[in-house]
Amino acid sequence: MSAAADLYLGVDGGGTGCRCRLETARGEVLGSGIAGPASLRLGLETALAAVMQAARGAMTEAGLGEDQFNRVQAGICLAGIGRKGMQEELAGWASPFAVTVFESDGLGACLGAHAGEDGGIVIIGTGSIGLARVDGREIRIGGYGFPVGDEGSGADLGLAAIRVSLRAHDGREPQTRFTKDVLARFQGDPFEVIAWMDKAHATDYATLAPLVLRHADLGDSHARAIMQNGAALIDAMVRTLFEREVPRVALIGGLSSAMEAWLAPDVRRRLSAVRGDAIAGALSLVRRHHAPG
């Protein structure tokens, strides 16, 4: 590594977009950049093209050209990095940076949430997963993908909403305004649900989560039961992380604030505040990886 490699780039690349931040050795922010999805599930070429687009944006904002990439130590956290053979493919990439460290986007979020220190997170968004790093050891709970996993997630809440609404349509459960509103998304026709189901992905199911939250807040018994069941599953993730001697646990993700209100009181009391974002985690990763000594 050249002594001139005095800049640090943190990259958070996920399925919805790629964000990065360029900093000095002292942590002064010089520039930031954004680009399209950078999940490795979209292919190595697509993901790295997004990374480089975001990186060029950060360099431009800092008043630097691509010829200065050799001054940059980059921590790049990407979704899908756990896929078989992906680390080997990334190792073969002709990186323009002085130093390049790859990790998962989940680990980046975890490190950011705890300012680079040991800790864990439960991510609650379209999917869900529990992640932690303790004494260099990584812990993973859940995150097996929808519909077999991702309990308590937006997709999981949406699936539960459809199931109870179909039962109510049949007369197996009481009909409520909530169940009617869910089926109204499908013209009140269960066979429209079936046609939609054949093509629907987790993100499609998750679009129903706000409906569950709204009706749960209004007191609907079905929506409240869905939230209570989802919260119990998130409770179990948090408790399991603590049982594995994770010192701090935080909630992150688009549904984290809404779900926190439904968690058990003992779980809520033990949660820690988020200290930083996933980009901060990526930066801490590369700073620690190449710290002197």
Mean residue pLDDT across the chain: 93
pLDDT at site 79 = 86
CATH number (1.10.3720.10, 3.40.50.150, 3.30.420.40, 3.40.50.880) of 7-115+276-289 reads: 3.30.420.40
- 289-292 — which CB contacts under 8 Å span 24+ positions? 289/75, 289/99, 289/101, 290/1, 290/73, 290/99, 290/101
Kindly report the three-state secondary structure assignment for every residue of 161-209.
HHHHHHHHHHCCCCCCHHHHHHHHCCCCCHHHHHHHHCCCCHHHHHCCH
Whether 292 has a pLDDT exceeding 60, the answer reads no
The domain ranges of the chain are 7-115+276-289, 154-270
Nearest-10 Cα torsion for 171, 210, 125, 37: 120
pLDDT at site 145 = 84
Q: How far apart are CA 17 and CA 29, in angstroms?
A: 20
Whether 226 has a pLDDT exceeding 90, the answer reads yes
b/e per residue, 2-16, with b = 16+ CB within 10 A?
Answer: eeebebbbbbbbbbe
Which of 40-44, 112-116, 227-231 reaches the highest mean pLDDT?
227-231
As given in the structure block, the two tokens for residue 24 are 């000095």
Q: Taking the model in full, what pTM does it have?
A: 0.82
How confident is residue 272, by pLDDT bands cut at 50, 70 and 90? Answer: very high
How confident is residue 64, by pLDDT bands cut at 50, 70 and 90? Answer: very high
pLDDT at site 126 = 85
Average pLDDT for 231-246: 97
Same fold, 7-115+276-289 and 154-270: yes
pLDDT per residue as tens digits for the range 148-176:
889 999 999 999 999 999 999 999 999 99
How confident is residue 293, by pLDDT bands cut at 50, 70 and 90? Answer: very low
Q: How far apart are CA 34 and CA 285, in angstroms?
A: 20
Residue scoring higher pLDDT (16 or 264): 264
pLDDT per residue as tens digits for the range 106-120:
899 999 999 989 999
Could you give the strand order of the β-sheet that contains 137-142, starting from the edge strand earlier in sequence? 137-142, 128-134, 119-124, 249-252
Q: What is the DSSP string of 89-107?
A: HHHTS---SSEEEEEEHHH
Domain 154-270 of CATH type 1.10.3720.10: no
